[in-house]
Amino acid sequence: MQFIDQVKVYVKAGDGGRGCISFRREKYVPRGGPNGGDGGRGGNIVFRATRELNTLLDIKYQQQYMAERGEHGMGKDMHGKNGKDTVLPVPLGTLIKDYETGTVLADLTDEGQEFVAARGGRGGLGNTHFKTATRQAPRFAQPGEKGDERTLTLELKLLADVGLVGLPNAGKSTLISVVSAARPKIADYPFTTLVPNLGVVKYGDFKSFVIADIPGLIEGAHRGAGLGFQFLRHVERTSILLHLVDISEMSVEDPVENFEKINRELELYSPELMQKPLAVAGTKLDIKGNNERLDRLARYCKDNDYDFFPVCAITGEGIKELMGYLGKKVEEHKKN
């Protein structure tokens, strides 16, 4: 399925129905008087969060939504039918913003949470409402009000507890495939991960957390290089970031330089990201060589107060300890 996480959409609520101008005309009732009914209310445009969706794909290909208008009032004091609301399901974690100002109007994070993005117009009053002792035959009624209309930006930020970041081929997809049921594409070339992947990690007794695999970052991402930068919004909600660094002898670059390079890109994207708890995992432990790269990264993490875990997703070495640590950090964050 194509992953869509940002769309522009135009919404128009239904107009209210107009009030009716009518008079009671019955045999043997010489002075019937006004009996025009009210118009119905226009339908609303409502966004509703659901966990059954994980992308904005459906809205991407239909970017205009209009609700039903209210029916006009009728004689015999009959009220026009209210317009039907148009309910648009969106994934959990959807931000709704005003397109012109960028103001956040709603943040839909809970199952069933709703936001009325455009309210239907009120129906007009029929002429029966305007009868007085001195005006017994009013020949006017109210028109229905126009429904709201606006242009919105929908932005999806996946709801995950742990966000995986790092260079391409650092082992993020392999790790998430081992610790969860997620099955991202894995290959020995950069940018095999083209969209974020979510996985549920079980640890301890009946405990779990959600982990997000973000497409790899490269130097210059803040200028548009690579793929991962456009998806970093999906780690903004996480409790903790796990930075994966390749410590294998197959990598020619210095692990500490790689770590600092990606941290600079994260800070350029959002300084708030660097305020989150950050742990480091040295990956591909099975081909670490003479330990030189492993020891260098471990010393750097110790000197800078980063929790460090050497792991190998293929053999499982260090994975249980790392997942237990992440689960504990997620629990602490939720308590706070």
d(CA 120, CA 124): 12
The residue among 262 and 204 whose pLDDT is bigger is: 262
Other C-beta atoms lying within 10 Å of the C-beta of residue 230: 14
CATH of the domain spanning 162-335, picked from 3.90.1150.10, 3.40.50.300, 3.20.20.70, 3.40.640.10: 3.40.50.300
Within a 13 Å sphere around the CA of 247, how many CA atoms are in the beta-carbon half? 27
Looking only at the bridges linking them, the beta strands covering 278-283 and 197-203 are unpaired
* Domain extent listing, the chain: 6-156, 162-335
Per-residue confidence band for 189, with pLDDT thresholds at 50, 70 and 90? very low
Looking at residue 1, its pLDDT comes to 40
**Burial, 187: exposed, middle or buried (Cβ in 10 Å; 0-12, 13-18, 19+)?**
exposed
Per-residue confidence band for 217, with pLDDT thresholds at 50, 70 and 90? low
The residue among 146 and 251 whose pLDDT is bigger is: 146
Looking at residue 204, its pLDDT comes to 74
6-156 is classed CATH 2.70.210.12: yes
Both tokens of residue 327? 């689960």
Other C-beta atoms lying within 10 Å of the C-beta of residue 192: 16
The helix (run of H) or strand (run of E) holding residue 323 is helix 319-335
Q: In Å, how far are 282, 294, 319 from 248, measured between CA atoms?
A: 9, 8, 17
